[in-house]
A and B are shown apart, each in its own frame.
Chain A
Amino acid sequence: MADTRDIELTVNGESRSATVETRTSLGDFLRQALGLTGTHLGCEHGVCGACTVLVDGEAVRSCLMLAVQAKGREVTTVEGLSNPDGTLHPLQDAFWRNHGLQCGFCTPGMLTSLAAFLEENPDPSEREVREAISGNICRCTGYQGIVDAALDAAKTMREG
């Protein structure tokens, strides 16, 4: 018999409960059980960063955390970044304006990572942004549009 646990957690502001197989990663759980397919699994060994989500506000690899470990936690995925009325998070808008994405696969992890990073570093240098996203691999953009978008969003957020 598969080892399962019942968990309750908050995802993007909504409380959710489910029975999960304990070997299921948080990433697979979000995608498969909750249908939140915005979180992407790119490597499943914690390097590419595509699966990054926020757990209690901290950016973590959802492929390296078991769903059962998210019990009682608050999880935010890319779907939860924009406001409930559909207006975009400043980062999302900046990615759009600065051509910060091409295929879009790494984008959710970039957005969640940078959302957490800018919370703590509202006025980063380009070097700091580059180091912040050094755990997120993008094969398409060469990172420049992403870096520009992050700096642009930081400015927007500072200016409120």
Chain B
Amino acid sequence: MKPAPFTYHDPTSAAEAVALLGAHEDAKLLAGGQSLMPMLNMRFVVADHVIDLNGVEGLAGINNTGDALEIGAMTRQRDLMRDPAVAAKAPIMPEALEWVGHFQTRNRGTIGGSLCHLDPAAELPCLMAAYDAVLTVEGPDGAREVPFTEWPLAYMIPNLGPDELLTKVTVPTWAGGHGYGFSEFARRHGDFAIVAVAALLEIDGGNISRAAISVGGADVKPIRLEEAESALAGQAAGPDAFKAAGEVARQIDAMSDTYVTSAYRQRLAATLVERALDKAAQRAGGSA
């Protein structure tokens, strides 16, 4: 199980990486390698060129702008979990990252790698959907910004041209004291989710003022439960409202695969939406 031969490139700048992408057909970008390397080893992916982003300056790091976190695409998942600004501004992120693989893979795996790989069951795309994150992509003609809703084009296909590079993810943060809950069902610790739910709530005087619910794993891309979100707005945070939101999740047009049926995914989505909201409500109002 060895990769097919390739030519290895290790650019030191984003511009150089973009230029390499332009110069070579059939090139793959190597970020943390926790998804690409297995596929190269198994020869599911055969590429003539591998462009290693690990030496590119300026692609890693977390910047707290006050109302957003700007996260470099090559920021390791481990560093997101350890970062105090992330813990303070977006505490759901370290909670969700506990579910991403194992600590050894998080030591290498990056946020950008996960978002470009775009496995429908991966946790980070689900989170970014909840946050309406904005992705910055650099190409030969400069940078462009892609709202997360426009990021997944199809199953595991991001809105990224063949000569483009994801450089930054901007996560608009929620008000201090917002509630958050991440609920996932995977068969084993560290497995890809069957269904995962990220829920964010702002609660004002017992009533929900703002809600975001994202469901991963149910469909080919993360789904925002907009209908449930607007129904929740103005309602008292409590079991009835959350159960109703769960029932919205049960209506998701979920996919079936070798392992589970759409009906089971719907059932899980209903359960997990309810649980994530409940968790979020319990945490809301605290000193986040």
A46 in the interface (beta carbon within 8 A): yes
Contact pick for B3, options A23, A131, A135, CB 8 Å: A23
Contact pick for B105, options A2, A28, A61, CB 8 Å: A61
B155 in the interface (beta carbon within 8 A): no
B37–A46 CB distance below 8 A: yes
Number of chain A interface residues as a range? 20 to 34
B104–A69 CB distance below 8 A: no
B105–A135 CB distance below 8 A: yes
Q: How far is the CA of A66 from the CA of B54 in the complex (A)?
A: 11
Contact pick for A23, options B4, B10, B42, B108, CB 8 Å: B4
**Surface stretch bound by B, among A52-60, A84-92, A94-102, A146-154:** A52-60
A-B residue pair count with CB separations less than 8 angstroms: 86
A64 in the interface (beta carbon within 8 A): yes
A22 in the interface (beta carbon within 8 A): yes
Binary B-proximity of A56-93 (CB < 8 A = 1, otherwise 0): 00111101111011000000000000000000000000
Query: In the assembled complex, how far is the CB of residue B272 from the closest CB belonging to chain A, in whole angstroms?
Result: 20
Q: How far is the CA of A47 from the CA of B6 in the complex (A)?
A: 24
Contact pick for A22, options B1, B6, B54, CB 8 Å: B6
Main secondary structure of the interface of A (DSSP, over half): mixed
A132 in the interface (beta carbon within 8 A): yes
Contact pick for B34, options A46, A49, A116, A131, CB 8 Å: A46
Contact pick for B101, options A23, A25, A132, A135, CB 8 Å: A135
Query: In the assembled complex, how far is the CB of residue B19 from the closest CB belonging to chain A, in whole angstroms?
Result: 19
Instruction: List which B1-44 residues lie within 8 A (CB) of chain A.
Output: 1-8, 10, 30, 33-34, 37-38, 40-42
Main secondary structure of the interface of B (DSSP, over half): loop
Q: How far is the CA of A11 from the CA of B20 in the complex (A)?
A: 31
B105–A3 CB distance below 8 A: no
Per the CB 8 Å criterion, the residue count for chain B at the interface is 31
Contact pick for A131, options B30, B38, B108, B189, CB 8 Å: B189
A45–B8 CB distance below 8 A: no
A107 in the interface (beta carbon within 8 A): no
B7–A64 CB distance below 8 A: no
Query: In the assembled complex, how far is the CB of residue A135 from the closest CB belonging to chain B, in whole angstroms?
Result: 3
Q: How far is the CA of A60 from the CA of B77 in the complex (A)?
A: 13
Instruction: List which A18-52 residues lie within 8 A (CB) of chain B.
Output: 22-23, 25, 28, 44-46, 49, 52
Query: In the assembled complex, how far is the CB of residue B60 from the closest CB belonging to chain A, in whole angstroms?
Result: 14
A65–B104 CB distance below 8 A: no
B5 CB contacts on chain A under 8 angstroms: 2-3, 23
Q: How far is the CA of A79 from the CA of B239 in the complex (A)?
A: 55
A134–B108 CB distance below 8 A: no
A3 CB contacts on chain B under 8 angstroms: 5-8
A134–B102 CB distance below 8 A: yes
A105 in the interface (beta carbon within 8 A): no
Known: A46-B34, A59-B104, A64-B34. A69 touches B190 (CB 8 A): no
A60 CB contacts on chain B under 8 angstroms: 104, 107-108
B7 CB contacts on chain A under 8 angstroms: 3, 22
Contact pick for B107, options A44, A45, A59, CB 8 Å: A59
